[in-house]
Amino acid sequence: MARTTKVNRVSGGSIFEPFSAEAGKRAPLVIAPSLLSSDFAHITAELARCRRARAKWIHVDVMDGHFVPNLTLGPPILAKWTAAEPDLFYDTHLMIENPMELAEAFVKAGSSLLTLHIETLSRPRRDLRAIKKLGVKVGVTIKPRTPVSDILPLLDEIDMVLVMTVEPGFGGQELIPGMLNKVRELDLARRRRGLPFRLEVDGGINAQTAPLAVAAGADVLVAGNAVFSGGQIAENIKKLRDASEKALSLP
């Protein structure tokens, strides 16, 4: 991968606020609609509706049909979306066997953050630093069977950890409750070590499970069906946010 640097127009500032363990400074809750569940025939309209519903982040699932048993999209398609809605934060989840081969292309297409599966990285620290040099945020992802211990040495290199709360590859699955223990473990690790990485969960998030994820320590919630179901995007996002913020207000 060439070492060209690109500063993404929305990769910092108020759109990506790091975690802070200081009292009263928890990172603001983010609801990240997953486009995997959107209406692909009207995708730019869906993006605009998400923006109007104050969803600043958009979750983009990239699947190669090898690492996971599904196939989605490549950089040219993402480039069309980011051109149509350039002020959104594109949280791009690379579920592919060789992420470093396409990382720069996805950055050029407008990704604001790339999350790479630890299971696909032969030299994780080097690869994460290479992504940083492209001028975007970087994160690591772990599948349900991958222990948190596999990424603990890398927490000082990243902006976010994505904990898969389902087996990656398809939307519409139910959250695996035991995965929230990983969120708790990672939240404890960042508090003890004073690290600013955010904690994202993806899989089975809805108005019932979102408060559980938030209570465990998650501050970025990926939601697909729970956002796009019935076409009521603004109402669905509000429902998720209200349910989650109640969990934040509990002692």
Catalytic residue numbers read 61, 202
Q: How far is CA 130 from the centre of its chain?
A: 19
Report how far residue 3's alpha carbon sits from residue 126's, in angstroms, rounded to the nearest whole number.
12
Is 204 in contact with 176 (CB distance < 8 Å)? yes
138 forms bridges with which residues in the sheet? 114
Is 114 in contact with 94 (CB distance < 8 Å)? yes
**For residue 228, which amino acid is it?**
F
Q: How many residues does the chain have?
A: 251
Give the angle subtended at the CA of 184 by the CAs of 135 and 221, to the nearest 5°.
55
Neighbour count for residue 237 (Cβ, 10 Å): 20
- Helix, strand or coil, per DSSP, at residue 223: strand
